[in-house]
Amino acid sequence: MHVEQVAPDLLRICLVGSDIVNAYIAGDVLIDSGASFSRSKLLKVLERLQLSGHALTHGHSDHQGCSHAVCERSGIPLYCGAGDREAVESGDGSTLLPRPDGLLAKVSSRFRVAPHPVTRTLVEGDTVGGFVCVETPGHTPGHLAFWREYDGVLILGDVLFHRNPLTLRRGLAEPFDVVTHDPEVNRNSARKLAGLRPEIVCFGHGAPLRDGAAFSRFVDGLPV
């Protein structure tokens, strides 16, 4: 497991490989927690840190997998977007899929993560760890991104990938339609984020992109 400083007061924790699954520490707030099999690795990193809270970009199991363990061990509150709260509190991210009654959802429901109560739902403009919350629905109904204007750093969760977590192919890509609640709405969220003109873009999957122009060009080319 690798930990790196992306920018001032922002650490990236590589929970799988060098960049396949990421969590972040923004100030004193943990953003995302990876899959449940990363629990011991993540807790070992966090044991030497003083956290004030834990926020989720969204409630899929590869972002919420260790959240209960982290919050219980550290005694910190859990935050997420309102549209994902029910899934986070039940531990069943299959309810966020585009077809919650479909085969994939039925399979996914067998891999629930430990549920945890949400202390507060975050909305546009809330501040977390020095970052401002941006509502970015689409991949899930309550998906959130986190933006820091003074140095142009953006944490966008799964609005876009910078590495495909299944094929491991590197490069900018949209998340899979089969696990994205509404792909069209997600593209609109990507356009919203591109409008912020970020300089450093941090992903749930993939290494940070330090080329805001490349990010904007990719988003400009998304289907309308």
Q: How far apart are CA 78 and CA 71, in angstroms?
A: 7
Closest C-alpha to 129, from 199, 26, 217, 204: 26
Residue, of 95 and 5, whose pLDDT is higher: 5
Among 110-124, 158-172, 188-202, the minimum mean pLDDT is found in 110-124
Q: What is this structure's pTM?
A: 0.95
pLDDT exceeds cutoff 70 at 179: yes
State residue 48's pLDDT score. 87
pLDDT exceeds cutoff 70 at 58: yes
Q: How far apart are CA 120 and CA 124, in angstroms?
A: 13
Q: What is the DSSP letter of 101?
A: T
pLDDT exceeds cutoff 60 at 109: no
SS3 212: helix
For residue 112, what pLDDT band results from cuts at 50, 70 and 90? confident
Among 55-59, 138-142, 178-182, 207-211, the minimum mean pLDDT is found in 178-182
> Percentage of the chain with pLDDT > 70?
95
Which tokens go with 39? 């629990």
**Average model confidence (pLDDT) across the chain:** 95
State residue 110's pLDDT score. 55
Domains of the chain are 2-220 (3.60.15.10)
Residue, of 48 and 199, whose pLDDT is higher: 199
Contacts of 150 (CB under 8 A, 6+ apart): none
Distance between alpha carbon 183 and the CA centroid of its chain, in Å?
Answer: 16
pLDDT exceeds cutoff 90 at 69: yes
Dihedral sign from CA coordinates of 221, 222, 223, 224:
negative
State residue 101's pLDDT score. 64
Q: How many helices (H) and strands (E) does the chain have?
A: 7, 14
pLDDT exceeds cutoff 70 at 108: no
Pairing of strands 153-155, 144-148: antiparallel
Q: How far apart are CA 116 and CA 114, in angstroms?
A: 7
